[in-house]
Amino acid sequence: MADFEHPYDKRRRLAREHDLFAGIQRRAAGKPEQQKKTHQQELNEARADALKGKRK
């Protein structure tokens, strides 16, 4: 039970690792670092993509 990780902690850790990996990929591609998007911006983009019938 010593290696138990709470689901919320796991989600936050995976999200952070994903953000770091995405940043590494962007730098490797030579693209500028993007500003951190707000949750509302992400929702708006997802809604626009859904309306266009595009999947993420």
Instruction: Tell me which residue of 28, 26, 47 sits closest to 36, measured CA to CA.
Output: 26
**How large is the average pLDDT for residues 14-41?**
77
pLDDT, tens digit (0-9, with 9 covering 90-100), for 31-54: 665 667 778 888 888 888 888 876
- The rounded distance, in Å, linking the Cα atoms of 47 and 33 is 24
For residue 36 the two structure tokens come to 């951190």
Read off the pLDDT of each residue in 14-24 and give the average, rounded to a whole number: 84
The Cα-based distances of 39 to 14, 17, 36, 43 in angstroms read 17, 18, 9, 6
Is 11's pLDDT higher than 60? yes
**Domain map of the chain by residue range?**
1-31
pTM to 2 decimal places: 0.36
| Structural tokens at position 51 | 């309306």
> Which pLDDT value is given to residue 52?
83
